[in-house]
């Protein structure tokens, strides 16, 4: 007997997940750490209730959080929050990889382990070179 998961129309849920990712990547709400938790929960929902591939969700989530953490244009505290939570989708990648006896997740673990956050660019640094005479 094969168990079937209910499949919902993917598009509205995928669009919501993407909108959450843009809010994270652009630090539109840098004082709202629950946004990251909401994004990760929406990803789990996509995997559970639609035909979205678990590896795709986990890898996309990991890349989003790591790329955001490394973006010097964003506020330092937001970048730290993203880096602190990047292990969650990495753990999902590891669990998914074990089923296939692969080591596809290890390069991502190395990226996270070797990530060094440089200081965020200050507003003063942004303005340098753009003086109007």
Q: What is the 3-state secondary structure (H, E, C) of 16-51?
A: HHHHHHHHHHCCCCCCCCHHHHHHHHHHHHHHHHCC
Q: Give this prediction's pTM.
A: 0.83
DSSP code for 101:
T
Angle at 51 (CA atoms; ends 46, 56), nearest 5 degrees = 65
Cα(7)–Cα(110) distance, integer angstroms: 35
In the prediction, which pLDDT does 9 show? 59
* pLDDT of 131 over the 70 cut: no
Question: Does residue 2 carry a pLDDT above 50?
Answer: no
CA distance linking residue 78 with residue 28, whole number of Å: 10
> Tokens 């340098």 correspond to what residue?
128
Percentage of the chain beyond pLDDT 90 is 64
The pLDDT tens digits of the residues spanning 5-29 come to 444 556 788 899 999 999 999 999 9
Q: Are 42 and 17 in contact (CB under 8 A)?
A: yes
pLDDT tens, position by position, 85-113: 999 999 999 999 876 566 888 889 999 99
Q: State the Cα–Cα distance between residues 67 and 89, nearest whole angstrom.
A: 13
């Amino acid at each position: 007997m094969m168990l079937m998961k209910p499949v919902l129309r993917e598009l509205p849920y995928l669009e919501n997940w993407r909108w959450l990712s843009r809010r994270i990547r652009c630090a539109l709400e840098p004082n709202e750490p629950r946004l990251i938790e909401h994004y990760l929960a929406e990803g789990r929902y996509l995997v559970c209730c639609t035909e979205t591939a678990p590896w795709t969700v986990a890898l996309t989530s990991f890349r989003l959080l790591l790329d955001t953490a490394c973006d010097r244009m964003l506020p330092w505290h937001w970048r730290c929050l993203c880096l602190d939570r990047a292990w969650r989708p990495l753990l999902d990648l590891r669990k998914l990889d074990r089923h296939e006896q692969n080591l596809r997740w290890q390069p991502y673990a190395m990226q996270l382990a070797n990530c060094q956050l440089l200081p965020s660019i200050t507003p003063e640094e942004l303005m340098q070179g753009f003086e109007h005479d």
